Amino acid sequence: MNKLTDKQVRAAKTGLHGDGSGLFLRVQGDARSWVFIYQREKRRRNMGLGSYPTVSLALAREFASVAREQIARGLDPLDERKRANPPTFEVMALQFVDANAPNWTPNVTERYRSFIAKHLAALNPMTVDKIDTPHIVATLKPLWGTPTGAYVRSAIERILNYATVSGYRAEGPNPARFKGHIALLLPQKQNPTEHHAAMPFADVPAYYKRLLERRTFASRALQFTILMGLRQAETRLLRWREVRDDHIEIEAERYKTRKAFRAPLSAPARVILDAMRAINPDAGPDDLVFPGRDGKSPLSHRIFAQTMDFTGAKDFTVHGFRSSFADWALKQGNALHVVDMCLGHLVGSKVSRAYLRTDMLDERRSIIDAWAEYVAV
**HEC sequence for 90-116:** HHHHHHHHHHHHHHCCHHHHHHHHHHH
- Spatial distance between the Cα atoms of 18 and 23, rounded to a whole number of angstroms: 6
The alpha carbon of residue 184 and the mean position of all alpha carbons in its chain are separated, in whole angstroms, by 29
Q: Exposed, middle or buried, 344 (CB in 10 Å: 0-12/13-18/19+)?
A: buried
Q: Where are the beta strands (DSSP E) in 41-169?
A: 43-51
Phi, psi dihedrals of residue 32, rounded to the nearest 5°: -130, 130
Phi, psi dihedrals of residue 187, rounded to the nearest 5°: -55, 130
**So what's the pLDDT on residue 353?**
43
Total residues found in the chain within this entry: 377
Tell me the sheet residues that pair with 243: 248
pLDDT digit string (tens) for the chain, length 377 residues = 899 999 999 999 999 999 999 999 999 888 899 999 999 888 899 988 888 988 899 999 999 999 999 999 999 898 888 777 888 999 999 989 988 888 788 888 888 999 999 999 999 999 998 999 999 999 999 888 887 888 899 999 999 988 887 778 877 788 998 876 787 788 765 444 445 588 999 999 999 999 998 889 999 999 999 999 999 999 999 999 999 999 999 988 888 777 788 999 999 999 999 999 999 999 999 999 999 988 889 998 889 999 999 888 888 999 999 999 999 999 999 988 899 899 988 664 453 444 345 678 999 999 999 999 999 97
Q: Exposed, middle or buried, 128 (CB in 10 Å: 0-12/13-18/19+)?
A: buried
Tell me the sheet residues that pair with 17: 25
Tell me the sheet residues that pair with 40: 43
**So what's the pLDDT on residue 351?**
39
- Spatial distance between the Cα atoms of 255 and 251, rounded to a whole number of angstroms: 6
**So what's the pLDDT on residue 192?**
46
**So what's the pLDDT on residue 354?**
45
- DSSP 3-state assignment of 256? coil
**Tell me, what DSSP letter sits at residue 265?**
P
Contacts with 278 (C-beta within 8 Å, 6 or more apart), sequence order: none
